[in-house]
């Protein structure tokens, strides 16, 4: 299998030597550039760079799309998480349950408010927080739980909502990677008390810079979130509470409004690509230890990432093997949060969250963006196959 393919089939060789990027945002944006530039132009002409009608339009679109009663723009997904915790009054002495296998912002929002992140291990099949282990982590100081819908699939919300109901916990969905993800009949961001979204360029709905949004079904919460995002000001120049300045600007919203109209199509393409990887990787009959991602029952996955597991210490060798053929891949995430230097004072030890630590050592995300071609997917899978057939595998 390692013999140069061009001996047998020169065409196949030229195909498989073509680089495959992990993500190419330009392929999605390029066909829309005229429309986007026109939308940006309109903002420039209006001079309403903040609080423009573009922001209101996106808020209405996202509210309707997620099924939440309210959506409020803010500066980033990280701010969305922070604002939600602030609006709930989380602070010093409080504990907040979250996974350790997530992007840093999930826990930094907790830490910034003087509260303590309490990390719970993940379900190895979905990579999401293991709801069955939450109860054991509760203390009288526990105030909230942040399920993260990692890689585009909702966490086990039924179990989490049941626990939250019993113990009076605030449920903040970190839906940064999961806009449009389904959970039964509900959508990410409208299941818990508040949902946090990110429009970072690599997310399923990505802007031309930073942006974020919070969603909620609670009218009072929506009001508090808006006030918190505007310096805690209500009315103008009077501050009953200390908030922050976190705004989604009109230019970002204008770009996102154009892109929002294509979101469902892109999600369909991501789902098609995921299904195709499932087939191609199964057909390749690779080592039985290569584990494909799974969709949990009742979940509608939106595939922000297609993440395989490469056990037995071979992940990094496979990643190098892909990189040697200019095929992009990434490790989300190589160091769990409970093992980060900045959280050392929390006192976690190696082995405390075994599934989280195992995932960090095994995961590898492959290119899955909507415009990825069939040929590119075949290139990726062929290259993985040469790894398993070759001596890199034996040596790893
Ligand atoms: C991207 C992301 C965030 C933060 O969003 P930003 O817009 O980059 O601040 C938070 N949580 C998760 C899980 C993310 O993937």
Q: What is the mean pLDDT of each run of 10 residues along the chain (396 residues)?
A: 40 63 96 98 97 97 98 98 98 98 98 98 98 98 98 98 98 98 98 98 97 98 98 95 97 98 98 98 84 97 98 94 98 98 97 98 98 98 93 66
- Yes or no: say if 71 and 62 are a contact pair by the CB < 8 Å rule: yes
192: Cβ contacts below 8 Å, ≥ 6 apart: 147, 157, 160, 161, 164, 171, 172, 173
**Measured in angstroms, how far is the CA atom of residue 176 from the centroid of ligand 1?**
5
Alpha-carbon dihedral 277, 294, 65, 44, rounded to 10 degrees:
-50
pTM given for the model: 0.95
- Yes or no: say if 155 and 125 are a contact pair by the CB < 8 Å rule: no
- The count of residues in the chain is 396
How much is the mean pLDDT over the chain? 94
Strand pairing partners for 381?
A: none
- What are the pocket residues of ligand 1 if the criterion is a CB atom closer than 6 Å to any ligand atom? 76-78, 102-103, 105-106, 148, 174, 176-177, 198, 200, 210, 212
Which residue's CA is minimally distant from atom 14 of ligand 1?
176
State which of 23, 98, 103, 128 you would mutate to test the pocket of ligand 1, scoring each by most atoms of that ligand within 8 A of its C-beta: 103
**Measured in angstroms, how far is the CA atom of residue 11 from the centroid of ligand 1?**
41
Q: Which of 239, 198, 244 is closest to 85 using CA atoms?
A: 244
State which of 149, 154, 174, 304 you would mutate to test the pocket of ligand 1, scoring each by most atoms of that ligand within 8 A of its C-beta: 174
Multiple choice CATH, 10-19+263-395, 3.40.800.10, 3.90.1150.10, 3.40.50.2300, 3.40.50.720: 3.90.1150.10
The ligand 1 atom at the shortest distance from the C-alpha of residue 304 is 15
Q: How far is CA 43 from the centre of its chain?
A: 29
- Yes or no: say if 389 and 1 are a contact pair by the CB < 8 Å rule: yes
**pLDDT score, position 238:** 95
- Helix and strand counts by DSSP (H, E) for the chain: 15, 12
Range 31-260: architecture per CATH: 3-Layer(aba) Sandwich (3.40)
Which residue's CA is minimally distant from atom 6 of ligand 1?
77
Place of tokens 């990110």: 198
Give 119-165 pLDDT, tens digit per residue.
999 999 999 999 999 999 999 999 999 999 999 999 999 999 999 99
3-state SS record for 105-163: HHHHHHHHCCCEEEEECECCCCCCECHHHCHHHCCCCEEEECCECHHHCCCCHHHHHHH
| N-to-C CA span, the chain | 18
**pLDDT score, position 265:** 98
Residue-range domain boundaries for the chain:
10-19+263-395, 31-260
d(CA 189, CA 174): 8
**pLDDT score, position 172:** 98
195: Cβ contacts below 8 Å, ≥ 6 apart: 66, 68, 172, 173, 175, 188, 189, 214, 215, 216
**Measured in angstroms, how far is the CA atom of residue 2 from the centroid of ligand 1?**
40
d(CA 21, CA 367): 7
**Measured in angstroms, how far is the CA atom of residue 14 from the centroid of ligand 1?**
37
């Amino acid at each position: 299998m390692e013999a140069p393919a061009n001996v047998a089939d020169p065409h196949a060789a030229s195909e498989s030597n073509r680089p495959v990027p992990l993500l190419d945002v330009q392929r999605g944006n390029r066909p829309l550039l005229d429309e986007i530039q026109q939308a940006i132009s309109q903002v420039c002409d209006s001079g309403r760079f903040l609080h423009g009608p573009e922001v209101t339009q996106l808020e209405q679109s996202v509210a309707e799309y997620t099924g939440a009663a309210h959506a409020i723009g803010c500066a980033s997904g990280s701010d969305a998480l922070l604002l939600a915790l602030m609006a709930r009054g989380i602070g010093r002495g409080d504990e907040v349950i979250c996974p350790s296998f997530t992007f840093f912002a999930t826990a930094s929002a907790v830490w910034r408010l003087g509260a303590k992140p309490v990390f719970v291990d993940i379900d190895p099949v979905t990579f999401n927080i293991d709801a069955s282990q939450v109860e054991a982590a509760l203390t009288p100081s526990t105030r909230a739980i942040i399920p993260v819908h990692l890689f585009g699939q909702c966490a086990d919300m039924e179990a989490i909502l049941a626990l939250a109901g019993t113990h009076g916990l605030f449920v903040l969905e970190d839906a940064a990677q999961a806009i449009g993800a389904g959970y039964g009949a509900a959508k990410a961001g409208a299941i818990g008390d508040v949902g946090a979204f990110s429009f970072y360029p690599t997310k399923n709905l990505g802007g031309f810079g930073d942006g974020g949004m919070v969603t909620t079904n609670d009218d009072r919460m929506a009001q508090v979130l808006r006030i918190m995002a505007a310096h805690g000001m209500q009315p103008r120049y009077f501050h009953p509470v200390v908030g922050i300045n976190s705004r989604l600007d009109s230019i970002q919203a204008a770009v996102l409004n154009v892109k929002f109209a294509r979101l469902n199509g892109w999600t369909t393409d991501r789902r098609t690509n995921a299904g195709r990887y499932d087939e191609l990787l199964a057909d390749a009959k690779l080592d039985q230890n290569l584990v494909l991602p799974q969709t949990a029952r009742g979940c509608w996955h939106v595939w922000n990432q297609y993440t395989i597991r490469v056990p037995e210490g071979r992940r990094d060798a496979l990643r190098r093997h892909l990189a040697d053929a200019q095929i992009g891949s990434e490790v989300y995430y190589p160091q769990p949060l409970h093992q980060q230097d900045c959280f050392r004072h929390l006192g976690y030890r190696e082995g405390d969250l075994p599934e989280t630590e195992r995932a960090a050592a095994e995961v590898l995300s492959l290119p899955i963006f909507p415009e990825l071609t069939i040929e590119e997917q075949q290139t990726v899978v062929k290259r993985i196959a040469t790894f398993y057939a070759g001596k890199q595998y034996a040596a790893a």
